[in-house]
Structure 1
Amino acid sequence: MADLRSDDLVLIACSGGPDSLALASVAAFFARRGTVRVGAVVVDHGLQQGSADIAKRTAAILQSLGLSPVEVRAVQVFEGQGPEAAARTARYAALEAAADQHGAAMVMLGHTLDDQAEQVLLGLARGSGTRSLAGMPARRQGSSGVQYARPFLSLRRAETVEICQLEELRPWLDPTNQDPQFARSRARYRVLPVMEAELGPGIAESLARSARILSQDADYLDELAQRAYRDLVEFSPNRDELLLAEEALRQLAPAIRQRVLALAVTEMAGSQPSFERLLAAEALLNRRGSAGPVQLSGGVSVYRLSRAVLAQDSKQPAKYGKLVVRRDS
């Protein structure tokens, strides 16, 4: 909390579980010392019977710790994503809204080293890239500008349980955390224990350490990609198309080139494309076979101008030799 002033408000995102309740208890200690103001948000996802009562009970515990303001935000979890992703989307929207309403300088999350290890393991299972394997950042900025912090990323889950015991707090144990239908639950209660037994202790710490190393690598590659993107990017007059010079793209290392293409997609309001879609876009640079368009993600596609089109339309020379990224109507 060194970068916070005494009049800054920090909101604790608290589910009532041992991790977030322990974090609230530690934060309350700093609040009592006058280091910072601390409040809390309890998000009721409404996915379990009695969730409103659990949220109300959690809010009462937080108020007893001296946190203020404390509020419960009920959210609607929309279908269309997996259940975990949909709940996460709804939860962060509620946290952003609460931070904006109360003028909070920071929202703190109770993720632990164990959560980080599970995140990395799931990323490996999905075949994810460097950024995903870097796990959860200790600090990040939300869409509304609020800062998110995870001060417990170096703490084991068992240690948060001990904090709750010492403070005589009774956390709520979410039964879905042990539900085998969720990949994270299987990683936590089945996969990681087997890895510890077969490969020796310290697996969780090793995975979390890998996340820290990969986070540094990903930050550096992202910085290089941002520079290359700024040098290459052009826009059509009405900004409905984004152009990237093919030859300059070919000169980039694959790790940078793919990031530049992904930046172009998000610039055109698309979502992060998969590795396979990025490879398909890169194939256009070979100037063999199809000139596209290649569908990327979120309604964004990319194509290159063929010589045949150039011969038919004299207005197209400005696009020749460039990949054209567009938002499909």
Structure 2
Amino acid sequence: MDNETQGGPDPAAPAAAHGRSATARPVRLPETPAVLALRHAVRDWLVRFRPAGSTVAVALSGGADSLALTAAAVAEAATVDALVVDHRLQAGSEEVAATAAATARALGCRSVRVLPVEVNGPGGMEAAARTARYDALGRARGELPVLLGHTLDDQAETVLLGLGRGSGARSIQGMAPFDEPWGRPLLNVRRQTTRQFCADLGLVPYEDPHNLSPEFTRVRLRTEVLPLLEDVLGGSAAVALSRTAELLREDNAALDEFAAELLVRAEFGGAGLSCAVLAGAAPAVRRRTVRAWLLARGVRVVTGAHLRAVDDLVVAWRGQGGVAVSGGERGTRLVVVREHGRLTLARATG
């Protein structure tokens, strides 16, 4: 069950420190370079994505990034609701969540909710924790966007993870500043800046031991790979990776628009997609069109191998059989086939 607390105004409350008494009055922030950098980042995000209102929720873990984001959001937004997810993966996690909640109240959040979750499911602990966290935040946010404390350094790590998957431009475009309902105002802010922000305010961030555990790929990227790249490339690797992600998001958005137009033309005239119309398009646009068509029809995952095989049905047709893709009800599978010059999706048993 969620634990909800409300903070009441206390004009006599001192500047916030970790775990001080609750107050709804926002603390006065010092005008240090780190504080100004975060305030400008949050302000720019609000102007860009919340012109009709500036009430937001913030996902607060108690770490430096989310603490700094919460304080900056309270200073820039009209009202802020803090959502603290307790993954319950370590002894004492309840106390960590309670301390983060107390800090949120001291910083001036309108309300604070602690969200205990159960972490289980496929993909290992890291993936299961992420799923549980986002599910809890999604249920608790109401109609508000949820601000997340992902920084430029997190973006660089995400791009490297995508490169390792080797699944194309979409996998290395990184995280978007706003992917409804998730907002990321700090994607151009370095992790060291959020730490300095906390130091400037006297906040003591929680140091999650999982963030130093080498069993997680992202941790090894953070502690081994990126420092080496920064050394080899003269300290510019994380910034360059983040810039690459931003450029790729712009390119992907344009290609998605072209693919949407092609899909309309390819679907005209009958069931499925016209191979003649698809064949006349650039490969990148054609494959995006097929991918969108498959996802819209219940295919759960579209891999690069799927797209290459389906593309061969269009441009390298030799009478070959259909291409099995994921999806379908139990006991059946979905198969893309070419019939009478059109791609259709059929169900096969077995």
Is TM (by shorter chain) over 0.5? yes
Contact 2:266 2:275 (8 Å CA) reproduced: no
Deviations 1:38-80 (A, max 9, x none): 1111112222222222112111111111102210112222322
- The answer to whether the aligner puts 1:323 opposite 2:323 as a matched pair is no
Note the C-alpha offset of 1:6.
8.6
Deviations 1:152-209 (A, max 9, x none): 1111000000011111111111111111111100100000111122232111111111
* Residue number among 267, 292, 302 corresponding to 1:263 in the alignment: 292
SS across alignment from 1:298? coil
Normalized against structure 1, the TM-score is what? 0.85
SS across alignment from 1:11? strand
In the alignment of these two chains, the number of paired residues is 297
Contact 1:262 1:272 (8 Å CA) reproduced: no
Distance 2:117 2:264 in 1: 39
1:73–1:274 distance in 2 versus 1, CA, 3 Å: same
Residue 135 of structure 1 is matched in structure 2 by 174
* Residue number among 288, 296, 302 corresponding to 2:318 in the alignment: 288
1:321–1:96 distance in 2 versus 1, CA, 3 Å: same
Note the C-alpha offset of 1:327.
5.8
Contact 1:75 1:91 (8 Å CA) reproduced: yes
1:96–1:298 distance in 2 versus 1, CA, 3 Å: same
Contact 1:43 1:94 (8 Å CA) reproduced: yes
The runs of at least 4 consecutive aligned structure 1 residues that moved more than 3 Å come to 3-8, 326-329
Distance 1:164 1:258 in 2: 46
Contact 1:265 1:297 (8 Å CA) reproduced: no
Residue 130 of structure 2 is matched in structure 1 by 88
Distance 2:114 2:348 in 1: 40
- Please identify, of 81-90 and 163-172, the stretch whose mean Cα deviation from structure 2 is larger: 81-90
Q: Structure 2 stretches of 5 or more lacking a match? A: 1-45, 329-333
Map 1:47-66 onto structure 2 (within 5 A): 47-66=89-108
1:78–1:295 distance in 2 versus 1, CA, 3 Å: farther
Map 1:213-232 onto structure 2 (within 5 A): 213-232=247-266
Distance 1:209 1:227 in 2: 28
Residue 196 of structure 1 is matched in structure 2 by 230
Identity between Structure 1 and Structure 2 (%): 41
Note the C-alpha offset of 1:120.
0.8
Contact 2:59 2:137 (8 Å CA) reproduced: yes
Residue 119 of structure 1 is matched in structure 2 by 158
- The answer to whether the aligner puts 1:170 opposite 2:216 as a matched pair is no
Deviations 1:82-125 (A, max 9, x none): 3322222221111111122xx32x21111000000111111112
Deviations 1:224-258 (A, max 9, x none): 1111112222698xxxxx61111111111110111
Please tell me the root mean square deviation across aligned C-alpha atoms, in Å. Answer: 2.0
* Residue number among 185, 209, 215 corresponding to 2:219 in the alignment: 185
1:136–1:328 distance in 2 versus 1, CA, 3 Å: farther
- Please identify, of 185-194 and 46-55, the stretch whose mean Cα deviation from structure 2 is larger: 46-55
